[in-house]
Structure 1
Amino acid sequence: MARRRRGLPIDGVLLLDKPQGLSSNQALQRARRLYQAQKAGHTGTLDPMATGLLPVCFGEATKFSSQLLDADKVYRARLRLGVTTTTGDAEGEVLQERPVPALDEASIEAVLARFRGEIEQLPPMYSALKHQGRPLYELAREGKTIERAVRRVTVYDVRLLALEGEEFTLEASVSKGTYIRTLAEDIGEALGCGAHLTALRRLKTGPFTAEGMLTLEALEGFEDAERQAHLLPMDVLVAHLPSLTVAADAAKRLTHGQPARLEVGALAVESTVRLYHDGAFLGLGVVAGPQEVAPKRLLSSAAAS
């Protein structure tokens, strides 16, 4: 007999403001308990030191969470000049201290300009990248260093927000896979004194911005109905994809795992599309031919209806 999953069958997306000091999974589990949700997942980790936007997916929304893994992101970061650490942030041990040269906004801006566009980064040892099935940060804590491949990332923009003594704050808009700790370290080296992160906050990921975020404390203060009202519909995760509306017969075929004849217009073969019937989101399909769409990832509730 199948074991029944505990909790409520809640579907939707929560824009959580992750607090400092919790891992992404710890924050996720606290949110899941507040909603009493059967199933939950997030769309990309934030370091425990970092705060800010962590989209949390409940229920069937987890089927589409991978759509955000490739999303561009925006961060606000505070750098401490003159000190480098083992982790590249304030949680590591001090490696080296160097004098900080006289800097003004113009000299920092001149260095930041060198980091705009496509750049190369060496992923840090204190990262979730895996080597032979183990996260690099676990190996780093054992004192091991693994050879990593340099990767190319894009810094769409990085700008100075404030300069206060030997610390300054910047905002960076970056492509997937960009390590802000590494960016901070590299900027520090370019300034001739080294640097590490003392604060990091994510302000945007894909289509989501900090404007709609809620803290765990705010969620704790809500009644159940109010908490539910703050969930976004599942299809916000795939809003960037083209959509097709299907008739009842096509919807039945698709939800039973069969391809259906559909007018796809100018969409190319292998394009992923959102599927709707009577205004209800069914899930994702893929264009299989000039007039054919095959199911790709559909909601269980759609198949049951």
Structure 2
Amino acid sequence: MHQQPQTDPGQLILIDKPLEWTSFDVVNKLRRACKFKKIGHAGTLDPLATGLLILCTGKMTKQIDQYQAQEKEYTGTLVLGKTTPSVDLETAFDGEFDVSGITPEQIQAAARQLTGEIQQIPPIYSAIRVNGERLYEKARRGETASDIKSRLVTVSNFNVLTDGFPAIDFRIVCSKGTYIRSLVRDLGLLLGNGAYLANLRRTRIGEFVVKDADSVEGFIERYRTEHFPA
């Protein structure tokens, strides 16, 4: 029977999170497959987002907060003219708007308004706890939460490419705690319109980049080969 190595100083693991997996799915998969006694992730990604997820094991879990606090970079696509309650494709469309009057210059100006230090209200479909319950649990029951507090976040870059209008490709560099879905929602509101997030990929956390990350199965195979040789 395979045994966990006797000493576990811990390690930092970079994973390219698959589409439709939760961050906890990745943690649980690695815990079971690699027999990690202690493992956690630094910074949640929504199920419909892909990209860089940092995990720490053993004694390295003490540094999770440090990694969570680092600057993050995302790329993705938002679409103007429609809305969903979750601001992504987890939920069905609930609004449609005429986009014919929106110009590239207006989109660029709206993105600039959402750059710098801004007050941001998290989306109703988020993992923030209000009165001991996660917001998405309320949202999935059809309840509203009127006491969601805004938070100060920093958006260093919000670059948009309008060639595919009404689909807008973007690159965002931002601080810990920034919700990309909130930026998408607010961009639509600034344009007197609506918007939803079509796809999202986290490409960087601090100095760590997604091109250096393993797939879930790739990491498991390599770890088992190194630590549990046949």
5+ residue gaps, structure 1: 1-5, 229-305
Q: Which has the higher contact order (CA 8 A, sep 6+)?
A: 2
1:21 alignment counterpart: 20
Residues 153-191 of structure 1: per-residue CA shift (max 9 Å, x gap) = 111111024631421110101111111001001111222
Q: How does 1:133-212 map to 2 (within 5 A)?
A: 133-146=132-145, 147-161=147-161, 163-212=163-212
Residues 96/36 of structure 1: CA separation in 2 closer, same or farther (3 Å cut):
same
Q: 1:198 to 1:119 in 2, by over 3 A?
A: same
Name the structure 1 match of 2:83. Answer: 84
Do the aligned residues in 2 keep the contact of 1:101 with 1:193 (CA within 8 Å)?
A: no
Matched, 1:61 2:72: no
The equivalent residue for 2:31 is 32
Count of residues in Structure 1 that have an aligned counterpart in Structure 2: 223
CA apart distance, 1:87: 0.5
TM-score by length of 2: 0.88
8 A Cα contact 2:34 2:220, kept in partner? no
Question: Does structure 2 retain, via aligned residues, the 8 Å contact 1:184–1:195?
Answer: yes
Partner of 1:297: none
Amino acid at match of 1:158: F
Deviations 1:181-216 (A, max 9, x none): 010011112223210101111111123222311111
Question: 2:190, 2:211 → 1: CA distance?
Answer: 34
1:278 matched to which residue of 2?
none
3-state SS of the aligned residue for 1:143? coil
Deviation at 1:56, TM superposition (A): 0.7
Q: Please state how far the C-alpha of 1:55 moved relative to its aligned partner.
A: 0.4
Q: Distance in 2 between matches of 1:107 and 1:125?
A: 27
* 1:246 match: none
Amino acid in structure 2 at the alignment position of 1:202: R
Counterpart CA distance in 2 for 1:65 and 1:21 is: 23
Q: Deviations over 1:201-251 (max 9, x none)?
A: 1111123222311111322443634589xxxxxxxxxxxxxxxxxxxxxxx
Report if aligned partners of 2:34, 2:224 keep a CA contact under 8 Å in 1. Answer: yes
Q: Could you tell me how far 1:42 is from its partner in structure 2?
A: 0.5
- 1:164 aligned counterpart, secondary structure: coil
Shift in Å, 1:122:
1.2
State the Cα distance separating 1:123 from its structure 2 match. 1.4
Shift of 1:40: 0.7
Preserved CA contact (<8 Å) 2:154 2:175: yes
Shift of 1:127: 0.9
Aligned pairs (5 A) from 1:90-169: 90-103=89-102, 105-146=104-145, 147-161=147-161, 163-169=163-169
Q: Which amino acid aligns with 1:29?
A: N
8 Å Cα contact 2:71/2:176 also seen in 1: yes
- Residues 162 and 56 of structure 1: CA distance in aligned 2, closer, same or farther (over 3 Å): farther
Q: Over alpha carbons, which structure has the higher Rg? A: 1
Task: Give TM-score, length-normalised by structure 1.
Answer: 0.68
Residue identity matched to 1:46: L
Alpha-carbon spacing, 1:224–1:164, altered in 2? closer, same or farther (3 Å):
same
Over the matched positions of the two proteins, sequence identity in percent amounts to 37
How far has the Cα of 1:31 moved from its partner? Answer: 2.3
Whether the aligned pair in 2 keeps the contact of 1:34 and 1:219 (CA below 8 Å) is no
